């Protein structure tokens, strides 16, 4: 029996290590470990709750808006602040843009090379590539001349003898199945997407000064003023530029991403039976309207049963640390709700440099959140499944279209391929919905509503002595929750349970695997020395480890100290 | 320019490149980049480096001759925000940087190889180009408990940093975490996080702080190095003067409103809509050295103050503790002129902010109107 280690897992955010046992060409067990820790929640204690969005934004620079959103929602929930409709719409536009841009980067720049062999594209016939491209999309960049130019560029790059980030990869691996022409087409779109992403994200710069890390969120609203008669505020000029960029985003998703996804997926249908995982899915819902109703529905699905969608109750969330490098004063085998989380980092892993972790003991800086004691998968697949099973009209239409194009049933979604397809579906839904939020915003402005902030509770002296609240958000990688306790105008306790904490979690007290671990079991491995297949399944989750690793509540820190003394 | 100068440049740049490779100029030609576009890029770089326009031909000539230098990028205690900033680079774009200008031999976020194949790529690069490659570090480095809070491939980030930065021609600490420890080093610094300068004493380090760093400042630093064969002039915080030599306050487009005593008082009020000064809302521009107002972000689309939010002071050492809370206004901002540099006043300013909000200095001599400090109740 061979134990293989992949560390670093590249083309993700953060520091992730996978150890897997392989027997008979298949993974029979796997462990997911996060190997970096900062402790930002601990640092937050005693600071101004109005600053928390800026601090927690630094959990992650990839999904660079999501913690800000969850944070301001948590503080607003605690202080019972209702934000103006325009602020909600601006947030929705920022969220939608983040989801679209992030999913496209994931598909082309983080995930594609698991399926696309760039070197094979050098053998492609540009004319045949042109025909292939024209057969699947009306995207204008599809001439033989265009693909020849891309091919020549890649050839010149290879001829330079310096492959840079493309060196030493798994090129030529038997698990690559695309014909040379499909590989060349995908390579061309890899380069196009690189240009596209930096343009469409200017929406964040217009609304929020810059990206990454837009600086515009406020407890109570947003900091971008609205005034059609000012050059220093959101005016017609800026709104029309956002409209143009949203159109550009939607065009690319409809005419490049989705056709590419379907084309690539059609060669890898065997991956619709691999990488299923825990089979439990959870989504908090998002895109609230002025009355607080969510455009994207919330819900939970257990055991892949699409006939039942359960209501999500945040009270059923608890985090375990039985296999995580933390201590928990509640004792072994006990989980704690995020409001009462009390964890202390305590590294007990091997002394570096090390070859293997002791996976029977504690082996990760990620905790194990569980919902009603169950491991849950979150992310685009969970979002799409919950919406599909809830009868969400727009989602159902796109899912049925994708399934019919691929000639597979809904059960195919419970897989590595399904996860990758669901991300495309989610992206398309976001790309088509976000312009509608802009239209609503323009409509409000035209009626003379320029409000962007609810001022009444801005001054901390207006707050109650104690308050607590939570904020939920559907980030690109899935359900995100922030919990805050405020005392005497300061942060008493802050906890974030983030998408990759759910998905990358190690085993819990009962020994239940986390979603990455469960999804890897059964994955075929053609060459243990080149575990391309592990990357496929892990990347299908779009890991974001800087987010996933977090503590903690410094309250508990003090309680632990008291116990010790 | 003299031929002497150009041979000097190519000799210097030879130090950092491999042999028998195409020059950047040749590669760009092969990639179909026109001479005109190339010169436009050189002019943009010249401007980004705060050089007179007459230097553009020097930039062009140097880039014509230089081979793709080797770059390795290490991610430690980070959020990947600086890598994302790199993806937004426009002049040159990230595609041009990766394919034409640099040989990015190691970058975990974008590289195709993983696991031991990735390890091998790093090892072979730092061996083959020992003393010649540029290292970029993103994220702080944990020093506590032997560095166990940051490991890659079973090795601590501390060990990796010492080995890789120690053999580099120069190390660029990108973002405030790599430069000064950043958010992880904020009180109580649970993991003993520090910047590269404290983790690898003796290494040649250029700090490019910012949260995240402006990608234009990274590309300008690299080009500066290619053109002049040496690292740019730095201030005492290790920051290039061309990007961090002036205070935000002194280049701010809203400065006239500060001088005129016109301030935003409430989010969304008339002053906010009309672009008045954000000083009273907590702007840290008067204590922050950074070129945000001129360089801006996302192809010069905007920057925080232009979009109505105060500057957070993110390019200053220990700004997380020294500058906060974010919406608390700075103590009395004296009216020192633009001739002052960070070395003269920046540190004292930041320390003053961190110590208390009761510093009573001279009231602005430049401001003709009312003193905002006296008008604000949050004191």
CATH of residue B197's domain is 3.40.50.700
Would you state the pLDDT for residue B334?
Answer: 59
CA torsion through residues A529, A532, A533, A538, sign: positive
The minimal CB distance from A197 to the residues B87, B109, B150 is found for: B87
Asked if B115's CB is within 8 angstroms of A5's CB, the reply is yes
Asked if A50's CB is within 8 angstroms of B109's CB, the reply is no
Residues B239 and B295 grouped into a single domain: no
Domain that includes residue B220, residue range? 2-243
A43 touches chain B (CB under 8 A): yes
Would you state the pLDDT for residue A342?
Answer: 64
Q: Could you confirm whether A67 is annotated as catalytic?
A: yes
How distant is the Cα of A353 from the closest Cα of chain B, in angstroms? 5
Would you state the pLDDT for residue B91?
Answer: 79
Burial of A2 (0-12, 13-18, 19+ CB in 10 A): exposed
**Whole-prediction pTM value?**
0.91
Contacts of B190 in chain A (CB under 8 A): 38-39, 42-43, 345, 551
Residue-wise pLDDT tens digits, B295-338: 999 999 999 999 999 999 999 999 999 998 999 999 867 554 44
Angle B317-B321-B323 from CA coordinates, rounded to 5°: 75
Place of tokens 């956002």: A242
Would you state the pLDDT for residue B349?
Answer: 45
Q: What is the mean pLDDT of residues A367-375?
A: 97
Give the model's confidence band at B281: pLDDT under 50 very low, under 70 low, under 90 confident, else very high.
very high
- Is pLDDT at A562 greater than 60 in this prediction? no
Q: What is the mean pLDDT of residues A73-89?
A: 98
- Is pLDDT at A557 greater than 50 in this prediction? no
Is B294 part of any domain? Answer: yes
Q: Cα(first)–Cα(last) distance of chain A, in Å?
A: 46
From chain A residues 101-140, the ones with a CB under 8 A of any chain B CB are: 105, 109-110, 113, 118
Domain final position from B243, B277, B310: B243
Question: Is A17 within 8 Å of A545 (Cβ atoms)?
Answer: no
Contacts of A35 in chain B (CB under 8 A): 150-152
> A71: which residues sit within 8 A by CB, 6+ positions away?
A52, A53, A56, A57, A217, A471, A482, A484
Residues B154 and B255 grouped into a single domain: no
Question: Is B310 within 8 Å of B283 (Cβ atoms)?
Answer: yes
Residues B137 and B21 grouped into a single domain: yes
- Is pLDDT at B73 greater than 60 in this prediction? yes
Would you state the pLDDT for residue B343?
Answer: 57
A216 touches chain B (CB under 8 A): yes
Asked if A156's CB is within 8 angstroms of B105's CB, the reply is no
Residues B36 and B180 grouped into a single domain: yes
Is B189 part of any domain? Answer: yes
Would you state the pLDDT for residue B23?
Answer: 75
Query: Residue A565 has which token pair?
Result: 């003394």
Q: What is the mean pLDDT of residues B46-51?
A: 78
Contacts of A195 in chain B (CB under 8 A): 93, 95
Give the model's confidence band at A360: pLDDT under 50 very low, under 70 low, under 90 confident, else very high.
very high
In Å, how far are B96, B110, B161 from B129, measured between CA atoms? 22, 21, 16
Is B337 part of any domain? Answer: no
Query: Residue B133 has which token pair?
Result: 């490659």
Question: Is A352 within 8 Å of B152 (Cβ atoms)?
Answer: no
Residues B130 and B151 grouped into a single domain: yes
Which ipTM score applies to this complex? 0.95
Question: Is A104 within 8 Å of A253 (Cβ atoms)?
Answer: yes
Residues B130 and B257 grouped into a single domain: no
Residue-wise pLDDT tens digits, A295-309: 999 999 999 999 999
Residues B324 and B207 grouped into a single domain: no
Q: What is the mean pLDDT of residues A446-470?
A: 98
The minimal CB distance from B21 to the residues A13, A153, A160 is found for: A160
Domain final position from B209, B243, B277: B243
Q: What is the mean pLDDT of residues A98-123?
A: 97
> Does B332 or B192 have the greater pLDDT score?
B192
A121 alpha-carbon distance from chain centroid: 30
Contacts of A160 in chain B (CB under 8 A): 21-22, 27, 68
Q: Could you confirm whether A283 is annotated as catalytic?
A: no
Would you state the pLDDT for residue B129?
Answer: 94
Place of tokens 């999804």: A519
Count CB pairs under 8 A between chains A and B: 325
Contacts of B117 in chain A (CB under 8 A): 168-170, 530
Contacts of B91 in chain A (CB under 8 A): none
Q: Residue A220's closest CA among A78, A338, A61, A339? A: A78
Give the model's confidence band at A1: pLDDT under 50 very low, under 70 low, under 90 confident, else very high.
low
From chain A residues 158-187, the ones with a CB under 8 A of any chain B CB are: 160-162, 164-171
Host H or E run for residue B223: helix B215-228
B275: left (phi over 0), alpha (psi -120 to 50) or beta: left
How distant is the Cα of A550 from the closest Cα of chain B, in angstroms? 11
Q: Could you confirm whether A451 is annotated as catalytic?
A: no
Would you state the pLDDT for residue B223?
Answer: 84
Q: What is the mean pLDDT of residues A231-251?
A: 98
Q: Residue A544's closest CA among A59, A76, A203, A180? A: A59
Q: Could you confirm whether A500 is annotated as catalytic?
A: yes
> Given A137, A500, A505, A540, which residue is catalytic?
A500
- Is pLDDT at B222 greater than 90 in this prediction? no
Asked if B155's CB is within 8 angstroms of A352's CB, the reply is yes
Q: Residue B199's closest CA among B228, B163, B161? A: B161
Question: Is A275 within 8 Å of A520 (Cβ atoms)?
Answer: yes
B19 touches chain A (CB under 8 A): no
Q: What is the mean pLDDT of residues B15-42?
A: 67
Give the model's confidence band at B21: pLDDT under 50 very low, under 70 low, under 90 confident, else very high.
low
Q: Could you confirm whether A544 is annotated as catalytic?
A: yes
CA torsion through residues A3, A5, A11, A16, sign: positive
Give the model's confidence band at B375: pLDDT under 50 very low, under 70 low, under 90 confident, else very high.
very low
Residues B261 and B235 grouped into a single domain: no
Domain final position from B194, B214, B243: B243
HSE-up (13 A, CA, CB side) for residue A537: 32
Query: Residue B104 has which token pair?
Result: 């990015």
Q: Could you confirm whether A13 is annotated as catalytic?
A: yes
Would you state the pLDDT for residue B10?
Answer: 43
Residue-wise pLDDT tens digits, A310-352: 999 999 999 999 999 998 888 889 999 999 876 689 999 999 9
Q: Cα(first)–Cα(last) distance of chain B, in Å?
A: 57
Residue-wise pLDDT tens digits, B329-359: 998 675 544 445 555 544 444 433 433 222 2
CATH number of the domain encompassing residue B256? 4.10.480.10
Give the model's confidence band at A110: pLDDT under 50 very low, under 70 low, under 90 confident, else very high.
very high
Q: Could you confirm whether A427 is annotated as catalytic?
A: no
Question: Is B199 within 8 Å of B141 (Cβ atoms)?
Answer: yes
Q: Could you confirm whether A446 is annotated as catalytic?
A: no
Asked if B301's CB is within 8 angstroms of A352's CB, the reply is no
- Is pLDDT at B8 greater than 70 in this prediction? no
Residues B77 and B204 grouped into a single domain: yes
- Is pLDDT at B371 greater than 70 in this prediction? no
Determine the Cα–Cα distance for residues B70 and B97; give it in Å rounded to an integer.
11
> A99: which residues sit within 8 A by CB, 6+ positions away?
A426, A427, A430, A476
Q: What is the mean pLDDT of residues A158-164?
A: 89
Would you state the pLDDT for residue A10?
Answer: 96
Determine the Cα–Cα distance for residues A224 and B305; give it in Å rounded to an integer.
10
- Is pLDDT at B17 greater than 60 in this prediction? no
In Å, how far are A71, A211, A296, A313, A381 from A299, measured between CA atoms? 21, 31, 10, 9, 13
A76 touches chain B (CB under 8 A): no
- Is pLDDT at B361 greater than 50 in this prediction? no
Give the model's confidence band at A292: pLDDT under 50 very low, under 70 low, under 90 confident, else very high.
confident
> Given A67, A323, A507, A536, which residue is catalytic?
A67
Determine the Cα–Cα distance for residues B130 and B151; give it in Å rounded to an integer.
23
Q: What is the mean pLDDT of residues B81-107?
A: 91
- Is pLDDT at B105 greater than 80 in this prediction? yes
Residues B117 and B185 grouped into a single domain: yes
CA torsion through residues A518, A521, A527, A529, sign: positive
Measured in residues, chain A has a length of 565
Determine the Cα–Cα distance for residues B83 and B79; give it in Å rounded to an integer.
9
Residue-wise pLDDT tens digits, A46-62: 999 999 999 999 999 99
> Given A32, A60, A283, A323, which residue is catalytic?
A60
Angle A48-A51-A52 from CA coordinates, rounded to 5°: 95
Q: Over B225-242, what HEC string results? A: HHHHCCCCCECCCCCEHH
- Is pLDDT at B4 greater than 60 in this prediction? no
Host H or E run for residue A475: strand A466-475
B298 alpha-carbon distance from chain centroid: 15
Is B336 part of any domain? Answer: no
- Mutation for B interface: A2, A18, A39, most B CBs within 10 A: A39
Query: Residue A118 has which token pair?
Result: 């760039």
Determine the Cα–Cα distance for residues A239 and A438; give it in Å rounded to an integer.
8
Is B179 part of any domain? Answer: yes
Contacts of A204 in chain B (CB under 8 A): 298
Give the model's confidence band at B367: pLDDT under 50 very low, under 70 low, under 90 confident, else very high.
very low
Question: Is B350 within 8 Å of B317 (Cβ atoms)?
Answer: yes
- Mutation for A interface: B107, B151, B219, B297, most A CBs within 10 A: B151
Residues B166 and B276 grouped into a single domain: no
SS3 B212: coil
- Mutation for A interface: B139, B307, B321, B322, most A CBs within 10 A: B307
Residues B40 and B96 grouped into a single domain: yes
Host H or E run for residue A32: strand A26-34
Number of structural domains (chain B) is 3
Would you state the pLDDT for residue A428?
Answer: 98
> A109: which residues sit within 8 A by CB, 6+ positions away?
A11, A190, A193, A194, B110
- Is pLDDT at B28 greater than 90 in this prediction? no
């Amino acid at each position: 029996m061979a134990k293989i280690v992949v560390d670093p897992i590249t083309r993700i955010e953060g520091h992730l290590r996978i150890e897997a046992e392989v027997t008979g060409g298949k993974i029979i067990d796997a462990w997911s470990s996060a190997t970096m820790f900062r402790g930002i929640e601990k640092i937050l204690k005693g600071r101004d709750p109005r600053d928390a969005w800026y601090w927690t934004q630094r959990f992650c620079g990839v999904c660079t808006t999501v913690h800000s959103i969850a944070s301001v929602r948590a503080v607003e929930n605690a202080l019972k602040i209702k934000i103006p409709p325009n602020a909600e719409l601006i947030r929705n536009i920022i969220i939608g843009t983040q989801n679209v841009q992030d999913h496209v980067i994931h598909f082309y720049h983080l995930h594609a090379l698991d399926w696309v062999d760039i070197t094979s594209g050098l053998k492609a016939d540009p004319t045949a590539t042109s025909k292939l491209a024209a057969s699947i999309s009306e995207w204008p960049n599809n001439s033989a001349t265009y693909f020849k130019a891309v091919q020549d560029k890649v050839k010149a790059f290879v001829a330079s003898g310096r492959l840079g980030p493309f060196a030493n990869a798994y090129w030529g691996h038997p698990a690559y199945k695309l014909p040379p022409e499909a590989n060349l087409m995908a390579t061309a779109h890899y380069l196009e997407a690189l240009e596209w992403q930096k343009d469409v994200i200017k929406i964040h710069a217009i609304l929020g000064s810059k990206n990454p890390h837009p600086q515009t969120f406020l407890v109570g609203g947003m900091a971008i003023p609205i005034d059609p008669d000012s050059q220093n505020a959101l005016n017609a000029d800026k709104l029309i530029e956002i409209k143009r960029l949203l159109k550009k985003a939607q065009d690319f998703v409809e005419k490049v991403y989705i056709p590419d996804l379907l084309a690539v997926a059609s060669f890898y249908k065997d991956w619709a039976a691999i990488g299923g995982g825990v089979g439990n899915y959870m989504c908090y819902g998002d895109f609230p309207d002025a009355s607080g109703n969510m455009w994207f529905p919330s819900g939970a699905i257990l055991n892949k049963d699409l006939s039942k969608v359960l209501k999500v109750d945040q009270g059923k969330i608890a985090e375990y640390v039985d296999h995580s490098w933390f201590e928990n004063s509640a004792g072994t085998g006990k989980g704690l709700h995020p409001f009462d989380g009390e964890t202390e980092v305590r590294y007990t892993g091997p002394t570096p440099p090390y070859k293997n972790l002791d996976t029977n003991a504690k082996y990760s800086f990620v905790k194990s959140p569980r919902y009603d004691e169950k491991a849950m998968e979150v992310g685009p697949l969970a979002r799409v499944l919950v919406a599909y099973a809830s009868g969400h009209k727009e989602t159902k239409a796109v899912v049925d279209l994708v399934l019919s194009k691929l000639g597979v049933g809904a059960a195919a979604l419970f897989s590595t391929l399904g996860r990758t397809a669901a991300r495309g579906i989610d992206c398309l839904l976001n790309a088509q919905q976000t312009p509608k939020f802009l239209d609503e915003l323009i409509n409000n402005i035209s009626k003379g509503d320029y409000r962007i902030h609810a001022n009444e509770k801005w001054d901390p002296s207006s707050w109650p002595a104690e308050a607590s609240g939570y904020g939920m958000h559907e980030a690109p990688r899935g359900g995100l929750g922030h919990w805050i306790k405020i005392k005497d105008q300061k942060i008493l306790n802050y906890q974030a349970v983030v998408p990759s904490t759910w998905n990358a979690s190690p085993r819990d007290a009962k020994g239940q695997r986390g979603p990455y671990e469960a999804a890897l079991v059964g994955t075929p491995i053609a060459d243990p020395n080149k575990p391309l297949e592990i990357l496929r399944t892990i990347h299908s989750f779009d890991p974001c480890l800087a987010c996933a690793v977090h503590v903690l509540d410094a309250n508990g820190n003090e309680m632990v100290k008291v116990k010790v003394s | 320019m003299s031929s002497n100068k150009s041979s000097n440049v190519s000799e210097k740049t030879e130090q950092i490149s491999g042999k028998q490779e195409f020059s950047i100029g040749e590669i760009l030609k092969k990639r179909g980049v026109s001479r005109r576009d190339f010169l436009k890029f050189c002019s943009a770089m010249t401007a980004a480096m705060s050089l007179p326009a007459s230097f553009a031909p020097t930039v062009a000539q140097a880039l014509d001759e230089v081979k793709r230098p080797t770059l390795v990028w290490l991610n430690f205690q980070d959020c990947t925000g600086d890598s994302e900033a790199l993806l937004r680079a426009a002049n040159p774009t990230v595609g041009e940087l990766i394919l034409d200008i640099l040989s990015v031999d190691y970058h975990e976020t974008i590289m195709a190889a993983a696991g031991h194949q990735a390890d091998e790529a790093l090892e072979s690069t730092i061996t083959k180009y020992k003393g010649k490659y540029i290292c970029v570090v993103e994220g702080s480095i944990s020093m506590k408990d032997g560095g166990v809070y940051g490991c890659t491939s079973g090795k601590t980030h501390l060990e990796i940093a010492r080995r890789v930065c120690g053999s580099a021609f120069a190390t660029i600490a990108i973002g405030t975490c790599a430069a000064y420890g950043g958010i992880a080093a904020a009180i109580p610094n649970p993991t003993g996080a520090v910047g590269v300068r404290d983790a690898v004493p003796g290494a040649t380090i250029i700090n490019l702080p910012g949260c995240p760093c402006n990608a234009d400042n990274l590309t300008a630093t690299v080009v500066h190095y290619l053109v002049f064969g040496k690292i740019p002039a730095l201030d005492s915080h290790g920051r290039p003067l061309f990007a961090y030599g002036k205070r935000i306050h002194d280049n701010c487009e809203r400065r006239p409103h500060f001088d005129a005593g016109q301030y935003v008082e409430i989010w969304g009020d008339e002053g906010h809509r009309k672009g008045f000064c954000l000083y009273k809302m907590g702007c840290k521009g008067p204590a922050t050295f950074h070129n945000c107002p001129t360089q801006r972000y996302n192809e010069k689309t905007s920057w925080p103050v232009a979009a109505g939010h105060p500057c957070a002071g993110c390019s200053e050492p220990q700004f997380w503790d020294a500058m906060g809370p974010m919406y608390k206004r700075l103590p009395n901002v004296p009216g020192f002129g633009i001739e002052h540099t960070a070395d003269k006043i920046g540190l004292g300013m930041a320390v003053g902010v961190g110590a208390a909000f009761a510093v009573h200095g001279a009231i602005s001599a430049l401001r003709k109107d009312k003193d905002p400090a006296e008008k604000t109740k949050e004191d």
